[in-house]
């Protein structure tokens, strides 16, 4: 694979432009109120959509299989998030739940 | 309580690094998986770590390796990179209002190290006291450094996580996304909930007809648009 370096450089330039240009163009420019409000909501939308996809979408297919340990982990994570609002607790609690469920499931098989 | 200056002190930097380290469970499995797959795809160690250091987008790197192994070339990898990383452009767009107080000279480095957690971290941070500049730079550079170091670790250790536990560790990604939404939800409870639910359902539904990365962008756009129609009590 002699062209791997070309691919890496191409991907690097492309990714940098994707990340830098919106920041640079909108820097110091006041946006209309409605747009600012819209942009204050988009982070939530991105995070919620990503989380939902990783629970229900696996390898290009809707994951309807039960038991869905990720769903269980997500429910616990949301509950911990509401109760504590601490990122570390949410992450550790979520992974712990999925690990425990996986461990128990393997004992039963 | 320490009084923080606008210029940002050591306290902000430490806070940024500390929050950045919270994402070890997010970066470690992606970097390890990428490094292992890169070896299978036939990349040299130098190429493997260079890709992480130059691009810093694990999901697009993994997808690109898949494309390469399927026989794709430069063009196919560029399209994949564009589609998977387009959400970073969206994140950058959403973060632009928070960058107003910062010097223009800092934007290239901030842009280069933008990652998904930033979209939760930076808005949540502005709800608190302290300098956004020092926090923003330190937390993103911390995450970038982790990613490159974990790629090296993956190259040498091969597999640290047993294959049948990889699914468990990977839950770090959705768990951290959920954790990051909380401060945003608390600041706008009613509209926030509507935005989150709309984006969740739309983002999943759109997966049936398009690339999931693109689905996230469209879902967030629809969710945020719907949110505009919801009136918060304490209209901010």
Task: Supply the ipTM of this predicted assembly.
Answer: 0.82
CB spacing of B22 vs A88 below 8 angstroms: yes
User: Chain-wide mean pLDDT for chain A?
Assistant: 87
Check whether residue B236 and residue B163 sit in a common domain: no
A70: enclosing H helix or E strand:
helix A69-84
Give yes or no for residue B27 having a pLDDT over 80.
Answer: yes
Give yes or no for residue B2 having a pLDDT over 60.
Answer: no
Which residue on chain A is closest to B21 by alpha carbon?
A88
Stretch B159-171: mean pLDDT: 70
Domain residue limits at B192: 188-236
Whether B2 is in a domain gets the answer no
- pLDDT-derived band of residue B155, with 50, 70 and 90 as boundaries? confident
Place of tokens 């250091």: B53
pLDDT of residue A21: 94
Check whether residue B66 and residue B160 sit in a common domain: yes
Give yes or no for residue B48 having a pLDDT over 90.
Answer: yes
Q: Which of B126, B142, B176 is the last residue of a domain?
A: B176
Check whether residue B210 and residue B116 sit in a common domain: no
pLDDT of residue B3: 41
pLDDT of residue B161: 62
Cα–Cα–Cα angle for B24, B26, B30, nearest 5°? 110
Check whether residue B25 and residue B100 sit in a common domain: yes
Q: Which residues of A touch B202 (CB under 8 A)?
A: 49
| 3-class DSSP state of A57 | strand
CB spacing of B43 vs A40 below 8 angstroms: no
- pLDDT-derived band of residue B87, with 50, 70 and 90 as boundaries? confident
Check whether residue B141 and residue B37 sit in a common domain: yes
A82–B contact, CB cutoff 8 A:
yes
CB spacing of A8 vs B47 below 8 angstroms: yes
Other CB atoms closer than 10 Å to residue B164's CB: what's the count? 9
CB spacing of A26 vs B108 below 8 angstroms: no
Of A20, A50, A98, the CB nearest to B107: A20
- pLDDT-derived band of residue B1, with 50, 70 and 90 as boundaries? very low
Give yes or no for residue A57 having a pLDDT over 90.
Answer: no
Q: Which residues of B touch A26 (CB under 8 A)?
A: 93, 96-97
Of A24, A42, A52, the CB nearest to B94: A42
A58: enclosing H helix or E strand:
strand A57-58
- pLDDT-derived band of residue B60, with 50, 70 and 90 as boundaries? confident
Stretch B60-64: mean pLDDT: 83
Of A10, A12, A56, the CB nearest to B74: A10
CB spacing of B54 vs A4 below 8 angstroms: no
Give yes or no for residue B79 having a pLDDT over 60.
Answer: yes
Give yes or no for residue B235 having a pLDDT over 70.
Answer: no
Q: Which residues of B touch A79 (CB under 8 A)?
A: none
- pLDDT-derived band of residue B190, with 50, 70 and 90 as boundaries? very high
Q: Which of B176, B198, B214 is the last residue of a domain?
A: B176
Of B178, B184, B228, the CB nearest to A43: B184
CB spacing of B216 vs A46 below 8 angstroms: yes
Q: Which of B176, B198, B221 is the last residue of a domain?
A: B176
Whether B4 is in a domain gets the answer no
Check whether residue B161 and residue B226 sit in a common domain: no
Q: pLDDT tens across B103-139, in order?
A: 899 999 999 999 989 988 898 888 777 788 999 999 9
Q: Distance (Å) from the C-alpha of residue A66 to the closest C-alpha of chain B? A: 15
Whether B3 is in a domain gets the answer no
Q: If we measure between CA atoms, which residue out of A24, A10, A22 comes closest to residue B54? A: A10
User: Chain-wide mean pLDDT for chain B?
Assistant: 84
- pLDDT-derived band of residue B5, with 50, 70 and 90 as boundaries? very low
- pLDDT-derived band of residue A54, with 50, 70 and 90 as boundaries? confident
Question: Among residues 45-74 of chain A, which lie with CB inside 8 Å of chain B?
Answer: 45-57, 62, 69-70, 73-74
CB spacing of B64 vs A7 below 8 angstroms: yes
Q: Is A2 exposed, middle or buried (0-12, 13-18, 19+ CB in 10 A)?
A: exposed
Q: How many CB pairs under 8 A join A and B?
A: 297
Which whole-number Å values give the CA distances from B40 to B6, B43, B60, B77, in the listed order?
48, 8, 17, 17
Whether B181 is in a domain gets the answer no
Contact A90, A73 (CB under 8 A): no
- pLDDT-derived band of residue B13, with 50, 70 and 90 as boundaries? very high
Domain count, chain B: 2
Lowest-pLDDT range, B127-136, B166-175, B201-210? B166-175
pLDDT of residue B126: 82
A41-72 burial string, b = 16+ CB within 10 Å, else e? bbbbbbbbbbbbbbbbbeeeeeeeeeeebbbb
Check whether residue B15 and residue B116 sit in a common domain: yes
């Amino acid at each position: 694979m002699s062209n791997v370096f070309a691919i890496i450089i191409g991907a690097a330039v492309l990714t940098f432009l994707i990340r830098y240009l919106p920041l640079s163009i909108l820097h110091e420019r006041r946006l209309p109120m409605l747009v600012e409000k819209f942009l204050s909501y988009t982070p939530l939308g991105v995070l919620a959509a990503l989380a939902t996809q990783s629970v229900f979408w696996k390898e290009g297919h809707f994951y309807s299989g039960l038991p869905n340990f990720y769903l269980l982990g997500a429910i616990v994570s949301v509950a911990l998030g509401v109760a504590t609002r601490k990122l570390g607790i949410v992450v550790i609690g979520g992974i712990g739940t999925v690990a425990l469920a996986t461990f128990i499931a393997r004992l039963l098989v | 309580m320490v009084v923080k200056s606008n210029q940002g002190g050591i306290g902000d930097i430490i806070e940024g690094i500390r929050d950045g380290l919270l994402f070890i469970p997010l970066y470690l499995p992606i970097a390890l998986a990428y490094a292992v797959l890169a070896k299978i795809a036939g990349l040299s160690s130098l190429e493997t770590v260079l890709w992480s250091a130059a691009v810093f987008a694990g999901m697009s790197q993994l997808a690109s390796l898949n494309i390469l192994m399927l026989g794709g070339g430069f063009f196919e990898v560029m399209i994949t990179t564009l589609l998977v990383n387009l959400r970073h452009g969206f994140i950058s767009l959403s973060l632009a209002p928070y960058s107003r107080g910062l010097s223009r000279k800092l934007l290239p480095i901030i842009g280069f190290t933008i990652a998904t957690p930033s979209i939760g971290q930076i808005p949540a941070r502005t709800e608190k006291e302290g300098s956004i500049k020092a926090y923003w730079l330190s937390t993103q550079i911390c995450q970038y450094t982790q990613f490159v170091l974990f790629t090296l670790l993956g190259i040498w250790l091969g597999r640290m996580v047993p294959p049948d536990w990889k699914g468990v560790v990977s839950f770090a990604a959705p768990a951290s996304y959920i954790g990051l939404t909380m401060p945003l939800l608390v600041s706008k409870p009613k509209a926030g909930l509507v935005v989150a639910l709309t984006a969740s359902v739309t983002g999943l539904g759109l997966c049936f007809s398009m690339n999931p990365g693109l689905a996230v962008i469209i879902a967030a756009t629809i969710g945020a648009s719907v949110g505009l129609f919801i009136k918060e009590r304490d209209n901010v």
